[in-house]
Copies of this chain bind each other. A is one copy, B any other.
């Protein structure tokens, strides 16, 4: 088993990474827990629900399951209320523990519900997609979407632990593996150029679900994420670099309607766009732009953005949470393995969008 430690003001907790970890979940239940509510969806419940209930019941606590509809389009207040209604109807109290069993949508909603229920109860992250294992389950970002923007309503709220069972990836569709790999290679781009190179060399093995390769990729991704959020839990500075590719990516998700592209797919394409913007405004060498594009393509994510007008792109990006006083801010790479956050003139963004426009017409 690998252990990665997260140290934030909002909480210090372990990330456990192991094959078969789902069977050991009772080890992470705080003794004072009065009841456990598993939040999941029918797909994940069908695959792992019984196994997880059995493992949690070993703690001797009452265990109940709250089923949410599947998909990003349900990451809304009305779905969140399904959790609150059930927690209250079942009389769960402040010492209850919420278990997020699923991908990023489940983790974000169960975590936000835990942050708000009775002003905060404990929760455990049990991510079952590659994307949530390497990204959304670590660091305490929780949220729901608003019709005017993704993740606009939420909280920074840390789990008591993150439990990653690498065997669950065997049941994941290839498209979801690719979406997760987009976030994996992101860590190389923004923080560790050696890891970027390692990803380049091991991409075929990763897509074939080679167990040692995946375990290392997950561990290194969690290490980078833990280092970054331990320095800046509430994203007053450094943490924003984790959003590399996300400003374009969120625009794609929001403009197409949530759930059309997977989050990781949108981020993958968004990283190519952000690399082009980096080349234009802070000198990322063309060879690195090329390497980023090639690795995104190798990961299986789309590399061609939707063919929208620049006005539409800018409109969609205005609601990004990094925006300050109406000015667009982007995560950019001055060179491979190093990210910065800076304000960018709309004219530079338009120039990059024009390049993609012509590339899609050729």
Contact = CB atoms under 8 A, between A and B. Distances in A.
Nearest to A91: B318
A155 B119 contact: yes
Given A116-B153, A120-B234, A234-B120, A34 B146 contact: no
A77 B81 contact: yes
B117 A325 contact: no
Interface in A253-275: none
Interface SS of chain A: mixed
A234 B153 CA distance: 21
A48 interface: no
Most chain B CB inside 10 Å of its own CB: which residue of A34, A116, A143, A155: A116
B153 A84 contact: yes
A119 B141 CA distance: 8
A119 B156 contact: yes
Interface in A228-255: 234-235
A324 B95 contact: yes
Given A88-B146, A234-B120, A319-B88, A93 B325 contact: yes
One complex includes copies of this chain to the number of 2
A152 B117 contact: yes
A207 interface: no
Instruction: Identify the interface centre among A153, A324, A326: most chain B CB within 10 Å of its CB.
Output: A153
Contact of A117 (B95, B120, B153, B324): B153
A93 B153 contact: no
Interface in A46-98: 77, 81, 84-85, 88-89, 91, 93-95
Contacts of A88: 146, 148-149, 152, 319
A321 B85 CA distance: 15
A24 interface: no
Contacts of A81: 77
Contacts of A117: 152-153
A56 B77 CA distance: 32
A30 to B, nearest CB: 13
Nearest to A329: B93
Interface of A: 9, 34, 77, 81, 84-85, 88-89, 91, 93-95, 115-120, 141-143, 146, 148-149, 151-156, 234-235, 318-319, 321-326
